[in-house]
Amino acid sequence: MSSANLIRIALGAYLLIFFSYLLGPLVVMSLTAFNSSGFPSVSPWACFTFEWFGVLFEDKHIRDGLFYSVVIGIGTVILSVSMGLAASIVLTQVWPRFRSTYYTMIIAPILIPGVVLGISTLVFWDRVGRFLGVEDGSFLYGLFHNGIFLTILGQSSFIASYAMLVFVARLQRFDPGLTEAALDLGATHTQAFRKILLPFMRPAIASASVLAFLASFENYNTTTFTIIDYKTLTTVLAQKVRLGINPSISSLAFIIITLTVFAALIFEAVQRNKARKDAVRRGKLKTGDKGILPSFLRGNPAAIMLVLLSFVVIAMVGTAQSYSPEQCKIRVKEERQIEIQKRIDALKKARAEQQATEAAEAEAEIPAKPAPATSGAFGNVFAPDNLTTEEEEVDVAPEAGSGAFGNVFAPGNLSDEGAEAEEPPKPEAGSGAFGNVFDPGNLSGGD
């Protein structure tokens, strides 16, 4: 008995850990989308805000990237699902002796690094263009150097293999006798394919399509070579990370997560509804009973959750229209200012004491910068709390050091408040190297 309990507890703990591992990052990321803090973070919670959604919708790069990601995703689904289906059917028809060789060949693209696929797609179509002698400016030349065309081909070259694996698994359960039966009853080969094999493959086609779309949507390493002058969401995000990110990316993640949950709930609800209708049809369930709920919701938790979630989302969008975090922001800012002021005072005091003992050396530096204290303070908003490293305080003069560090994330993040900080405090000798690592050139985007 007790050992059974122990197992149950262990299992519960395991599940808890497993799910927090699985979902934790998503939850945290979603939360950061609602924090007014300029860097995606949760722990110093500033103000609840919807502003990052606005930032996201305003961002043309992300919008374009999203659009092309979807276009490329659809193209890849069409191409790779049809190639995968054809390949899997050939696998069942090919002479048994060649089957494993053929299989290896078809599977190979999965094992080849995406980078290689990307480069070779690029090179290959360029060569094809040259071989055919297409001229710069002609349609074919344009096509062979078109980022969307090349990305769809490049991605499909390995996504088709994934699709094929899905189809092979399903095809193994197909009774070829069914095709023969259809032929025997007068169907042509095309009819037998369309009316017998294809309906049987439909669930596999659906899952392969989803798989292919997701694989295409999140692909970076092949796309980055083949996309040329276009952009996808992944390439845009990669660029952004290099320049410093802000929570609008979290809000994008939140939207994607919400859509995924919606899709899953819709799928489940439809499935349950179908099962219920089947049961009614077979007479296992009475349909006549009157309930408060419409029939679609009856005995269908997924549908109920779907409706609830829809309400939540509508309510959220509604509040977002009227809600303004300005009040809170000002308060937070003031609080910070006060706190920072306190720290500076404390530091000053410490310096003063230090000065007293080591009067000779430090004299020149300390009184030199009373003014930057405010701008330095901005840096402090991010620096000491988020990034506290012991070194920093030791190596770098306090005001300047934290200011430089804050700037790493600053201009993009602080666009609203940052105006005051446009002139970063001159780092002192010790911190100069540090500031250069994150060259101010990188930061230009924010202003």
Chain residues that interact with another protein, rule: CB under 8 A: 175, 177-178, 180-188, 191, 195-196, 199-200, 281-282
Nearer to another protein, 94 or 419 (CB): 94
Q: Nearest distance from residue 194's CB to another protein, in Å? A: 10
Nearer to another protein, 223 or 273 (CB): 273
Nearer to another protein, 58 or 175 (CB): 175
What the block records as the tokens of 350 is 């410490």
Q: Nearest distance from residue 196's CB to another protein, in Å? A: 6
Q: Nearest distance from residue 268's CB to another protein, in Å? A: 22
3-state helix, strand and coil shares in percent for the chain, rounded to the nearest 5: 80, 0, 20
Q: Nearest distance from residue 33's CB to another protein, in Å? A: 44
Q: Nearest distance from residue 44's CB to another protein, in Å? A: 57
CB neighbourhood size of 345 (10 A): 10
Nearer to another protein, 180 or 334 (CB): 180
Nearer to another protein, 179 or 223 (CB): 179
Q: Is the dihedral of CA 366, 372, 378, 382 positive or negative?
A: negative
Nearer to another protein, 186 or 291 (CB): 186
Cα 148 to its chain centre, rounded Å, is: 20
Instruction: Report whether 150 contacts 226 (CB < 8 A).
Output: yes
What the block records as the tokens of 208 is 């392969």
Nearer to another protein, 55 or 183 (CB): 183
Q: Nearest distance from residue 89's CB to another protein, in Å? A: 18
Q: How far apart are CA 13 and CA 437, in angstroms?
A: 44
- CA distances (Å), origin 175, targets 99, 170, 196: 19, 11, 10
Nearer to another protein, 110 or 183 (CB): 183
Q: How far apart are CA 398 and CA 344, in angstroms?
A: 9
Helices (H), 282-397: 301-322, 326-357, 359-362, 373-387, 390-395
SS3 48: strand
Cα 164 to its chain centre, rounded Å, is: 26
Q: Nearest distance from residue 78's CB to another protein, in Å? A: 24
Contacts of 140 (CB under 8 A, 6+ apart): 129, 132, 134
- Return the C-alpha torsion angle 83, 89, 95, 100, nearest 10: 60
CA atoms within 13 A on the CB side of 361: 4
Q: Nearest distance from residue 190's CB to another protein, in Å? A: 10
